[in-house]
Amino acid sequence: MSRPHAVVTGAASGLGRTIAEDLAAQGWDVTGVDIQADRLTQAAAEIARATGRAIRALVVDLGDVGAAAGAIAEAWATAPIDGLVNAAAIYPAIPYLELDAKAWTHVQTVNVTSPFFATQALARLALAAGRTPAVVNVASGAARRARPGASHYSTSKAALVMATQASAIELGAHGIRVNAISPGFFAVDSAANPVTAEYEALLSETVLPGPADAGSLAATVRFLLSDAARWITGAVIPVDGGSGAGTNRLPLHWTGTTAWQRASAAEEERS
């Protein structure tokens, strides 16, 4: 029996690389897609040493609107695709009043347009072959929570959530599932948007203690690609340590007893 084949975009670094390595370790054949040729080659070699499984490397610029479909076709030519993980994204922090149309368009193309058309290309190939792959998009908590310098990024991730749901609705009848994960803050090695220790500390405050768990994120992706998730589509699953639920870092906003507590105590005394 042939091994399942996954395509992971953004596989040269960050969460994409973590996901690619996890899938390889669990017996998947993996095709990694990234624009960073040297880092993708290095990642492929290191994953092979760590897992004993080689991954194919496709150097693709997903900032080119037509490149995503081409990457899917090239990967499919080596073996039918059972899983697609759209993890590639860019986040060049730019203040709102300095953001221009070129930067805006580039972020939208990489972060939402390319995942959409990669999914569409895969669906067309899969339908012709009578196969039912699964897709996982890597969204972000930024889709629901804006922050300075990220108007283009937050917008793209919100659009990616809707693209996930729209794709799920239209492809569900064909047995193709499309879901998303919504990570909290994960420190990644990004030359485009390095972060300060102060910024990382602020965004790393979560309900669950400890640093962000990339292993849990990768396992969630693997689950969504698996047959165990066969009744899940159009879902957006937070993998954020509880940060999307709220915060436990704020002090109580009252002192002493409240009016409600005093009235309740008085009523108890009368009864």
Cα separation of 2 and 113, whole Å? 31
153 catalytic per annotation: yes
DSSP character at residue 112: I
Q: Is residue 39 exposed (0-12), middle (13-18) or buried (19+ Cβ within 10 Å)?
A: middle
Q: Quick one: which of 169, 76, 81 has its CA closest to 133?
A: 81
Instruction: Considering the candidates 91, 96, 153, 199, report the single residue annotated as catalytic.
Output: 153
Helix (H, G, I), strand (E, B) or coil at 231: coil
Tokens of 73: 């076709």
Buried b (16+ CB within 10 A) or exposed e, 193-224: eebeeeeeeebbebeeeeebebeebbebbbeb
CA distances in angstroms from 216 to 11, 140, 170, 208, 220, listed in the order given: 17, 15, 29, 13, 6
Q: Which of 94, 48, 132, 3 is nearest to 11 (CA)?
A: 48
Q: Which residues are catalytic?
A: 153
